Amino acid sequence: MTSPPQAEHKPSIRPADEARTLPSGEREFFMDVATSDLEVNMGPQHPATHGVMRVLLRTDGELVTGAQPHLGYLHRCAEKIGESVEWLQYLPYTDRYDYLSAMNNNLSYSLAVEALMPELEIPRRGTMIRMICAELNRIASHLVAFGTYGLDIGAFTPFFYAFREREWIQALFEKICGARLTYSYIRIGGVFNDTPPGWLQEVADFCDVFEEKWQEYYDLLIENHIFVQRTANVGVISEEMAYDFGLTGPMLRGSGVDFDLRRDMPYLEYGEAHDAGAFKVPIGTGEKGTVGDCWDRTQVRMVEMMESLGLVRWCLEQIEPGPVIGDVPRVIKVPPGEAYVGIENPRGELGHYMHSDGGKIATRCRVRAPSFVNLAVLEDLMPGTLLADSVAIIGSTDIVIGETDR
């Protein structure tokens, strides 16, 4: 009697030639044990998603094999509201998409409406105050990006330093408009009111102190060996990929593309400021690893803070007494027409497409949110990385959920 043939033995140890090389080409590790795919929900409540977002991760052991962002938990119908309320009434809603850079949001909306009102003249002092506020807000926003990014990958201390400096900027904004987060200060036609006495000197004082502190933060986190190990060669976005996904802002510049709307398609007085040498455009160079990795993006944000400081100082030199807001009626009627205006927000290009039929209410109010577009790259960037790196990658995209969901 012969025994039935044994089922073919399947070894649980895979041969070594199945070793995988990560897209960066740097690390590789061996799959020793046969594993199966596991779906893990990262979020909706997760500290590393910076808000209420869910990423459905498919993992094979420590390796991420798929990622699918699920949005909409913070959707507040901003565009529909924009088509239901008057032009000026919509301004406070713009504060609430990217609540870390509300000044820039106000500015983008105001510029889009002003593009439809060619007869409206904005006084130079108003423009200068707009630039000072936008750049200070950019510093505050990048400070949060830098602080929380450290937090995401295990460095707790920089967060407190970043928030100390941000607190100072918020106090400055509180003096100028009374609000600390949702300013509604930059209006259609200029800014809401003039600066309080001594405010410009306080801004100058901030610039002097911040310049010293910045170097400390740079040495503390950006040059830190552990930080470099966690971010260099991780989440590499090539130039072609950045174009394909429509990335803008530090995400695009981190990939080595020399493009900044403030310099290349100037609005306000940025063209004049650049000609005067007030700021340069930093790009990712792959100093610690590959061009377009998480370290490059973070470094671009850090250097941008200093460039913004240069812009603030240039504005403080140029600013002269005068009116701050143009001749805007109480109820604004915008001539018929349509315009798309995109400006350089801390997170990328914030665009407003506004369409007016000549009435008191917009016919179409479209918000092109940089975080929304920049987040789409996750679907392609995450597969093939390690689970721990997924947090580093999400953090380096610097998203604000209020803006992705609007």
- Alpha-carbon distance 48 to 321, whole Å? 45
**DSSP annotation of 11:** -
Note whether 81 binds other proteins by CB under 8 A.
no
Q: Interface with other proteins by CB under 8 A: which range of 33-41, 48-56, 114-122, 386-394?
A: 114-122
What x-and-dash track marks residues 355-374 binding other proteins by CB under 8 A? x-xx----xx-x-x---xx-
3-state helix, strand, coil in the chain (%, to 5): 45, 15, 40
Which of 245, 270, 279, 295 contacts other proteins by CB under 8 A? 245
Residue 261 contacts by C-beta under 8 Å, 6 or more apart in sequence?
267, 342, 343, 344, 349
Note whether 85 binds other proteins by CB under 8 A.
no
Note whether 349 binds other proteins by CB under 8 A.
yes
Which of 246, 323, 326, 383 contacts other proteins by CB under 8 A? 246
Buried b (16+ CB within 10 A) or exposed e, 168-207: bbbebbeebbeeeebbbbbbbbbbbebbeeeebebbeebb
The one-letter code for the residue type at 144 is V
- Alpha-carbon distance 152 to 209, whole Å? 27
- Alpha-carbon distance 69 to 373, whole Å? 12
Least distance (Å) between residue 323 CB and other proteins: 24
Least distance (Å) between residue 390 CB and other proteins: 19
Residue 265 contacts by C-beta under 8 Å, 6 or more apart in sequence?
none
Note whether 380 binds other proteins by CB under 8 A.
yes
Cβ proximity to other proteins, 81 vs 179, nearer residue: 81
Least distance (Å) between residue 329 CB and other proteins: 17
Note whether 243 binds other proteins by CB under 8 A.
yes
Question: How many beta carbons lie within 10 A of that of residue 377, not counting itself?
Answer: 20
Closest C-alpha among 281, 286, 306 to residue 297:
286
Which of 257, 273, 324, 394 contacts other proteins by CB under 8 A? 257
Cβ proximity to other proteins, 144 vs 334, nearer residue: 334
**Residues engaged in binding other proteins (CB under 8 A):** 71-72, 75, 77, 79-80, 83, 115-118, 243-246, 248, 252, 257, 259, 264-265, 335-340, 342, 349, 351, 353, 355, 357-358, 363-364, 366, 368, 372-373, 376, 380, 405-406
